[in-house]
Structure 1
C-alpha cells in the first residue's frame, strides 16, 4: 500500500502544480488580453478550456485526498460503499478509487 500512497502523493503534487499554472493563466500573470479582437477571441476561448481543465483537476485532487485519507485510516483497500476489498488490479489502474468495480458500476 505504501507504493500506492507514494503514487498518490506524487499525483497530488503534480495536480497542485497544474492548478497553480491554471490560476496564473486566469489572473493573466503573463499579461493582459491582446489588443487585436481576433486574438482576444482566441484567448477567451482558451480561458474556457482552462476553466474546464481546472474543474477536472480539482475533482481529481479531491479524489486523491479522499483516497489518501482512507489509506491513513487503514481502510484504503476497502470499498467505501460495500466494505469488500478493492481488486488490486483496479487500484493499479485507478490508485485514487475508493469503490470496487461492482459499486462503481451502480
Structure 2
C-alpha cells in the first residue's frame, strides 16, 4: 500500500503544479489579451478549455485527498460503499478509487 500512497502523493504534486499553471493562465500572468480581435477570440476560447481542465484537476485532487486519507486510516483497500476489498488490479489502474467495480457501476 505504501507504493500506492507514494504514487498518489506524486500524482497530487503533479496535479497541484498543473493547477498553478492553469490559475496563472486565468490571471493573465503572461500578459493581457492581445489587441487583435481575432486573437482575443482565440484566447477567450482557450480560457474556456483551461476552465474545463482546471475543474477536472480539482475533482481529481479531491479524489486523491480522499484516497490518501483512507490509506492513512488503514482502510484504503476497502470499498467505501460495501466494505469489501477493492481488487488490486483496479487500484493499479485507478489508484485514487475508493469504490470496488460493483459499487462504481451502480
Common fold by TM > 0.5: yes
Within the alignment, does 1:57 sit opposite 2:57 as a pair?
yes
Count of residues in correspondence between the two structures: 106
Q: Provide the alpha-carbon RMSD of the alignment.
A: 0.2
Specify every segment of 5 or more residues in structure 2 that has no aligned partner in the other structure, as ranges: none
Q: TM-score, normalised by structure 2?
A: 1.00
Runs of 4+ in 1 over 6 A off after TM superposition: none
Specify every segment of 5 or more residues in structure 1 that has no aligned partner in the other structure, as ranges: none
Q: TM-score, normalised by structure 1?
A: 1.00
Distance 1:20 1:104 in 2: 30
Q: Match of 2:3? A: 3
Q: Match of 2:19? A: 19
Q: Secondary structure at the match of 2:46?
A: helix
Distance 2:94 2:19 in 1: 21
Shift of 1:67: 0.1
Distance 1:77 1:39 in 2: 49
Q: How does 1:1-106 map onto structure 2 within 5 Å?
A: 1-106=1-106
